[in-house]
Amino acid sequence: PQGIGSPSVYHAVIVIFLEFFAWGLLTAPTLVVLHETFPKHTFLMNGLIQGVKGLLSFLSAPLIGALSDVWGRKSFLLLTVFFTCAPIPLMKISPWWYFAVISVSGVFAVTFSVVFAYVADITQEHERSMAYGLVSATFAASLVTSPAIGAYLGRVYGDSLVVVLATAIALLDICFILVAVPESLPEKMRPASWGAPISWEQADPFASLKKVGQDSIVLLICITVFLSYLPEAGQYSSFFLYLRQIMGFSSESVAAFIAVLGILSIIAQTIVLSLLMRSIGNKNTILLGLGFQILQLAWYGFGSEPWMMWAAGAVAAMSSITFPAVSALVSRTADADQQGVVQGMITGIRGLCNGLGPALYGFIFYIFHVELNELPMPESPAGGGVVTQYHLQQNSIIPGPPFLFGACSVLLALLLALFIPEHTNLNLRPSNWKKHCGSHGHPHSPQAPGEAKEPLLQDTNV
């Protein structure tokens, strides 16, 4: 078989690290190019670009996952990494093409979907959680270090060197997949012909969402996830631009903020989450996480000084415990043969939010006239630049209106979460359930009745 050694989790880890390390290097240059390309409607255009990318990823993830079941994982790892990294060299060639290709690349920007399928092929069920955790931690580690490195190199040598370096790392990732990554899906698991049919149910991105109303508790959980993750997805798409252009953060300060927030989030999702789950229970952990998210978004919304952003960032790390706690609650209350179905619903809702959230935030920034009519003033050596006078005059009461809207949305999620029972049995088993689930499982592999079907994940979900 092609590749070096037997398929392993470490192959997947290296692919993820190189891809997101390359993109992390471009954090500071992307913010500058975005503002220079769209000086009058920066936040609106950023929201539209990220929104189109998110929606396309949501629509294409199930189809790419189903096709990888037929054609193998390696070819789709190559395809997703290539198209995800394709916009990188265009940053200096043509900014307009750069942002256009980013939005369209959402069709193939689902590397995590294929990586998790790769990991599922080569691990036993009891090993899978730890393997997924290793992949997710690698993703976080790449973004902890790369923005700071990119900001430093850009300041000393210029952004062109950063773009060249990111392009080289992306090419290295593609070469690594071609040369070193072995195929994880055995030949006997695939159909004899590449023309094997793919049913619409396998490729339907809304298939999991159609089951949401079949159980009142599941409906409650899914609405809670939607209301809490919609502002989170929008925040991820625009917050670093907000820090850079509105709050006056320097490139180094933004990179340091990402690093500190990433480290605190890793600690919160491992040590703190484990302690809370044991001490106050699953439901109370969800409520606590939503409470932290409300505080964080309100702080971002009303904060007008850089130190307020840093303080709110520490609270944001604690709010990251919400989704793991929701997943744990679902895994405890659903039957063993319904794990993949319910987790797939939550994953589908989060994927939908990845498209809606950025567009919503961009639109709210636009209608509240949070725009820049001039380039930011030169950065101070201390690392926190000067906030533009235009912004302070027009929005002195609510500097960040989308964040305040997000706080209200999460407050509704908190009120709904109060009605979620701590222990219940979810009922998602209509008469045609077995038939439907069979169409979503692996078409060529037997599956034990108690084995959970792993949902496909979007890149930004992790």
In the chain, % of residues over pLDDT 90: 11
Number of residues assigned to the chain: 462
User: What's the confidence (pLDDT) of residue 193?
Assistant: 46
Asked whether residue 149 carries a pLDDT value surpassing 80, the answer given is: yes
Query: Are residues 284 and 176 located together in one domain of the fold?
Result: no
Would you say residue 47 lies in a domain? yes
In the chain, % of residues over pLDDT 70: 76
Would you say residue 31 lies in a domain? yes
Mean pLDDT of 134-162: 83
Query: Are residues 228 and 333 located together in one domain of the fold?
Result: yes
Give CB contacts under 8 A, 24+ apart, made by 367-370. 368/395, 368/398, 368/401, 369/394, 369/395, 370/43, 370/246, 370/394, 370/395, 370/399, 370/400, 370/401
Asked whether residue 93 carries a pLDDT value surpassing 60, the answer given is: yes
User: What's the confidence (pLDDT) of residue 254?
Assistant: 85
Question: Which region among 1-5, 118-122, 347-351 has the lowest average model confidence (pLDDT)?
Answer: 1-5
User: What's the confidence (pLDDT) of residue 189?
Assistant: 52
User: What's the confidence (pLDDT) of residue 176?
Assistant: 92
Query: Are residues 164 and 242 located together in one domain of the fold?
Result: no
Domain span at residue 250 reads 212-371+399-421
Would you say residue 450 lies in a domain? no
Question: 412 or 359: whose pLDDT is higher?
Answer: 412
Query: Are residues 84 and 220 located together in one domain of the fold?
Result: no
Asked whether residue 442 carries a pLDDT value surpassing 90, the answer given is: no
User: What's the confidence (pLDDT) of residue 266?
Assistant: 80
User: What's the confidence (pLDDT) of residue 342?
Assistant: 67
Asked whether residue 365 carries a pLDDT value surpassing 80, the answer given is: yes
Question: 461 or 213: whose pLDDT is higher?
Answer: 213
Asked whether residue 44 carries a pLDDT value surpassing 50, the answer given is: yes
Would you say residue 387 lies in a domain? no
Q: What angle do CA 314, 46, 143 make, to 5 degrees?
A: 40
Query: Are residues 30 and 151 located together in one domain of the fold?
Result: yes
Asked whether residue 435 carries a pLDDT value surpassing 80, the answer given is: no
Mean pLDDT of the residues in the chain: 76
Query: Are residues 181 and 222 located together in one domain of the fold?
Result: no
Query: Are residues 22 and 115 located together in one domain of the fold?
Result: yes
For residue 167, give the CATH number of its domain. Answer: 1.20.1250.20
C-alpha span between 26 and 390 (Å, rounded): 28
| Residue 396: band (very low, low, confident or very high) from pLDDT cuts 50, 70, 90 | very low
Among 238-242, 346-350, 449-453, the range of highest mean pLDDT: 238-242
Query: Are residues 224 and 335 located together in one domain of the fold?
Result: yes
Asked whether residue 125 carries a pLDDT value surpassing 80, the answer given is: no
Q: Which of 146, 170, 185 finishes a domain? A: 185
Mean pLDDT of 7-19: 88
User: What's the confidence (pLDDT) of residue 441?
Assistant: 43
Residue 173 phi/psi, 5-degree rounding, is -65, -45
User: What's the confidence (pLDDT) of residue 341?
Assistant: 64
Task: Give the total number of structural domains in the chain.
Answer: 2
Do residues 258 and 250 touch, judged by C-beta distance below 8 A? no
Would you say residue 76 lies in a domain? yes
User: What's the confidence (pLDDT) of residue 462?
Assistant: 37
Query: Are residues 240 and 344 located together in one domain of the fold?
Result: yes
Query: Are residues 261 and 324 located together in one domain of the fold?
Result: yes
The dihedral formed by the CA atoms of 135, 140, 142 and 145, expressed in degrees to the nearest 10? -150
Would you say residue 300 lies in a domain? yes
Amino acid at 368: F
Among 26-30, 188-192, 268-272, the range of highest mean pLDDT: 26-30
Would you say residue 109 lies in a domain? yes
Q: At what angle do helices 73-85 and 9-25 cross, to 10 degrees?
A: 10
User: What's the confidence (pLDDT) of residue 171?
Assistant: 95
Question: 226 or 200: whose pLDDT is higher?
Answer: 226
Query: Are residues 18 and 167 located together in one domain of the fold?
Result: yes
Query: Are residues 231 and 162 located together in one domain of the fold?
Result: no
Asked whether residue 294 carries a pLDDT value surpassing 90, the answer given is: yes
Per-residue model confidence as pLDDT tens digits over 322-332: 877 887 777 67
Would you say residue 461 lies in a domain? no
| Residue 349: band (very low, low, confident or very high) from pLDDT cuts 50, 70, 90 | confident
